Amino acid sequence: MTIIDGKKISEDILNEISLEVKQRTNKGYKTPHLAAILVGNDGPSQTYVNSKIKACEKVDFKSSLFSYDSNISEEKLIDEIELINNNDDIDGFIVQLPLPNSINQENILNSVNPNKDVDGFHPINYGKMTIGIDSFIPATPYGILELFKRCKISLDGKKCLVIGRSQIVGRPISILLSQSNEFCNATVTLAHSRTIDLDKLALDSDVIISAIGRPEFLKAEMVKEGAIIIDVGISRVKDDSSKKGYKIVGDVDFKNVSKKASYITPVPGGVGPMTIAMLLRNTLVACRKND
Ligand code: GUN
């Protein structure tokens, strides 16, 4: 069994990005600049955005954080996005999700300039990704693909079960894995809350990618010997022994599932850091296009 070290792989990617930034600077090119929009004070969202901003410092990107109160109107938020769309110094930006219920997420994502949409959530980028045209790929699915690539894990012809149909992870990774790419070509099943006999589907799968945010949902009895397990879940679970009062737990019962898996990603230290690395890579690509 191999534990896929997403932290180490993400650091390799950050080093590659950092090197390119230095080379760009030496040649007089612009420093990449990532901006993040955060609405409200959701704890996990604040943590994720802070990690993204911190990662920018590591690779010498410029970063900007735009924070708004949860009662900002949709119209005002769209006006703010328009300002960022028109700010030539910002190469790419993200709107951290989820947004408050009073704001229509679709309207917000549609207002992001697709050329700066480094999250790949604008319908133009999502559509391009779906039909296999070069585009910004959402960072978490992109990070999972990169893990397969760097660990030389081929999914060719394999039965792959994706659990969770979210727009951010489950849906896009299910699309990407079935495409005709060197590390994809999988036979994909996308399971969701209405799926019947999930246990049977899971037991029959060569690869399981779980992205539902339910702590330790995937048990060893649901996994076949030698399966490849990718855990996208990040849940906070009460833990009085930790300083923060909680610990981070994935969708997978790691202790027991790891005994059967051939490859498995840990939580934390698996997919999470890859998401940030791929977001920065998308930002670098956006910046290059402005050269
Ligand atoms: N919320 C959870 N994951 C993500 C992500 O990858 N991007 C954004 N913008 N929001 C998120």
> What is the tens place of the pLDDT at every residue in 85-139?
999 999 999 999 999 999 999 999 999 999 999 999 999 999 999 999 999 999 9
Choosing from 5, 91, 117, 119, which is the catalytic residue? 119
Please name the residue whose Cα sits nearest to atom 11 of ligand 1: 97
User: What is the 138 CA–ligand 1 centroid distance (Å)?
Assistant: 9
Choosing from 96, 117, 158, 251, which is the catalytic residue? 96
Q: Which atom of ligand 1 is nearest to the CA of 138?
A: 6
Residues 174/179/181/183 CA torsion (nearest 10 deg): 30
What is the tens place of the pLDDT at every residue in 39-59? 999 999 999 999 999 999 999
User: What is the 230 CA–ligand 1 centroid distance (Å)?
Assistant: 18
Cβ(48)–Cβ(272) under 8 Å? no
* Predicted pLDDT at 246: 96
Sheet containing 92-95, strands listed edge to edge, beginning at the edge strand earlier in sequence: 62-68, 33-39, 92-95
User: What is the 53 CA–ligand 1 centroid distance (Å)?
Assistant: 14
Q: Which uninterrupted H or E stretch holds 174? A: helix 170-178
Exposure string of 52-69, with b = 16+ CB inside 10 Å and e = fewer, is: bbebbeebebbbbebebe
State the chain's mean pLDDT as an integer.
98
* Predicted pLDDT at 123: 98
Cβ(18)–Cβ(32) under 8 Å? no
What is the tens place of the pLDDT at every residue in 143-152? 999 999 999 9
* Predicted pLDDT at 207: 98
Could you give the CA distance from residue 133 to residue 135 in angstroms, rounded to a whole number?
Answer: 6
Q: Which atom of ligand 1 is nearest to the CA of 36?
A: 9
Q: Which of 51, 81, 93, 96 has most ligand 1 atoms within 8 Å of its beta carbon, as the pocket-test mutant?
A: 96
Nearest CA-CA partner of 100 in 128, 76, 136: 76
* Predicted pLDDT at 242: 96
In this structure, what DSSP letter does residue 258 have?
A: T
* Predicted pLDDT at 129: 98
Cβ(35)–Cβ(84) under 8 Å? yes
Those residues whose C-beta lies under 8 Å from the C-beta of residue 133, and which sit 6 or more positions away, are none
Q: Which atom of ligand 1 is nearest to the CA of 275?
A: 6
* Predicted pLDDT at 156: 97
Paired with 208 in beta bridges are: 161, 229
Please name the residue whose Cα sits nearest to atom 1 of ligand 1: 97
What is the tens place of the pLDDT at every residue in 179-230? 998 889 999 999 999 999 999 999 999 999 999 999 999 999 999 999 999 9
In this structure, what DSSP letter does residue 27 have?
A: T
In this structure, what DSSP letter does residue 133 have?
A: -
With vertex at residue 249, the alpha carbon angle to CA 99 and CA 148, rounded to the nearest 5 degrees, is 85
Q: Which of 38, 39, 97 has most ligand 1 atoms within 8 Å of its beta carbon, as the pocket-test mutant?
A: 97
Exposure string of 132-147, with b = 16+ CB inside 10 Å and e = fewer, is: eeebbbbbbbbbbbbb
Whether the full predicted model's pTM is greater than 0.95, yes or no, is yes
Pocket of ligand 1 (CB under 6 A): 94-97, 119, 139-140, 168, 275
Please name the residue whose Cα sits nearest to atom 2 of ligand 1: 97
Asked if 52 is an active-site residue, the reply is yes
Please name the residue whose Cα sits nearest to atom 9 of ligand 1: 96
* Backbone conformation region of residue 132, classed left if phi is above 0, alpha if psi is from -120 to 50, else beta: left
User: What is the 250 CA–ligand 1 centroid distance (Å)?
Assistant: 16
Could you give the CA distance from residue 236 to residue 247 in angstroms, rounded to a whole number?
Answer: 6
Cβ(279)–Cβ(139) under 8 Å? yes
In the chain, the percentage of residues whose pLDDT exceeds 70 is 100
Those residues whose C-beta lies under 8 Å from the C-beta of residue 182, and which sit 6 or more positions away, are 149, 154
Choosing from 5, 52, 91, 116, which is the catalytic residue? 52
* Predicted pLDDT at 112: 98
